[in-house]
Structure 1
């Protein structure tokens, strides 16, 4: 709470702070403590001298929020956070699919990816729409464009969207759920989940 993370991850500046997930601060603090112990043991092996180590929720919270904390300390004025309906760029936002699942759209190569995206969303007729022409015009008309994109994404389930977006070369990420973890092949093949552990 104190390092500002709860404030930064709420849905909008007017929304209440988001409740943290259990262990959200304790796990990084424990990992930092483990790293400190390992380095102190290594130092003792090499130099014969021990070391004093420490870890704290506050310190690890500041580390987790380091980019924003550094900006604040340097005088950066961060824009207020509004809800997803007012995201500054409709091409980089979170959208709900027909089955209630969410995906995070990140269109950075607009010249190449936007025409394909508009086609998939059933919005090909907007290809020459001045609201989409520039970053400034997209931001000026963000609410209208997000509503159009919402309607487009809600036509199919996440399972249907994944191959369509992949084939079109459109960058996106799945907003994962705990229920997804067991079936995630990459988590198993990467050794992140160990059977029987």
Structure 2
């Protein structure tokens, strides 16, 4: 028997699109919450139409998209025209019976649709009202549209990655900052729900794509804020510590070595690569001399690693105490045994596609396990269920709402 999730019984209404808001809702669904995604009856979530992303095909054989599925696993979907009074009244009815509301719409859109915080608190004073904006609730950018790469640019992230020897900024693909902000939003919602359980009072939860980017770069930004030192981008050929670097092996694959404690691990490293002669080379006898002669040492290690294929090095390093790992591409990472053993990648049944492998919940609990309860919902799949079972509408009323294109 599968144990219930830790937030079972919590109902969340989601009016959000693309990644940040929806992904937070999906995280809560994996913890047992009932998450009802409210979509426009004509357009739906914009991610349903995202058939490509950064030159990668996103469409699935059943007509859904990878981005939509990723951010909406485990939810219910209903359609509702919130630009009409009848649609707003239905939403207000749901709000009165719910615990939390999630959105990533801009303030002007929230006001226009009648789903701003002030309006919803008239229907449910103690609801947890959670917003993930692009840039924050205040300041000149507060009502601007945002996407992950734009926030990478604004937050300094595009000059934090890439090679130091290049003057060009480097953009990361894969919605990393979207998912980071979504995690912060879910974190804030859980904290607000816990506080409401203690006091009976709901509150607003605010985060943004930009706040998430700042948080993920806390060490980098604090290095500047506290000491006015810019953290340099990595450069492979001239890195200060060649034991924190990656090397190409004989088969063309790469291997990462990451050992900031170079004094402690210099001897076992040299022994593991079969180059104990380096221990007696005056250029490399201390951390300081290795820094001073890092270009020469990287060149030596390039030759060493190029002599054998990666798997040979991995077998040779097995049991070593210094830190290392193969540098995988996404296809290799997806098949890594460590991901499967810890259920970072799981199987979920899709009604139209069968068993599908996808990324699992980001945390696990021993007594009340997180799990993906079901596949991402089809467009408006649960509209009738929500109207009848939660709001008590008759079938005649449901039919009338459909005829008026309100749902």
- Secondary structure of the structure 2 residue equivalent to 1:174: strand
Q: Structure 1 residues 112 and 60 mapped into 2: Cα distance closer, same or farther (>3 Å)?
A: closer
CA-atom RMSD, angstroms?
2.2
Q: Which residue of 2 aligns with 1:160?
A: 312
Q: Which residue of 2 aligns with 1:60?
A: 212
Q: Structure 1 residues 71 and 129 mapped into 2: Cα distance closer, same or farther (>3 Å)?
A: same
TM-score (ref. length: structure 2): 0.45
- Secondary structure of the structure 2 residue equivalent to 1:67: helix
d(CA) in 1 for partners of 2:234 and 2:177?
Answer: 25
d(CA) in 2 for partners of 1:111 and 1:68?
Answer: 25
Q: CA deviation at 1:163?
A: 1.3
Question: What number of residue pairs does the alignment pair up?
Answer: 197
Which structure 1 segments of 5+ residues have no match?
A: none
Q: Which has the higher helix share?
A: 1
- Secondary structure of the structure 1 residue equivalent to 2:296: helix
Q: Structure 1 residues 124 and 71 mapped into 2: Cα distance closer, same or farther (>3 Å)?
A: closer
Q: Which range moved further: 95-104 or 152-161?
A: 95-104
Q: Which has the higher strand share?
A: 2
Matched, 1:103 2:276: no
Q: CA deviation at 1:42?
A: 2.6
- Secondary structure of the structure 1 residue equivalent to 2:252: coil
Q: Structure 1 residues 107 and 181 mapped into 2: Cα distance closer, same or farther (>3 Å)?
A: closer
Q: CA deviation at 1:126?
A: 2.7
Q: Which residue of 2 aligns with 1:148?
A: 300
TM-score (ref. length: structure 1): 0.87
d(CA) in 1 for partners of 2:309 and 2:291?
Answer: 27
Deviations 1:36-68 (A, max 9, x none): 222222322321211101221110111001112
Q: CA deviation at 1:122?
A: 4.9
Matched, 1:195 2:358: no
Q: CA deviation at 1:94?
A: 1.4
Q: Which residue of 1 aligns with 2:245?
A: 93
d(CA) in 2 for partners of 1:110 and 1:78?
Answer: 23
d(CA) in 1 for partners of 2:218 and 2:318?
Answer: 33
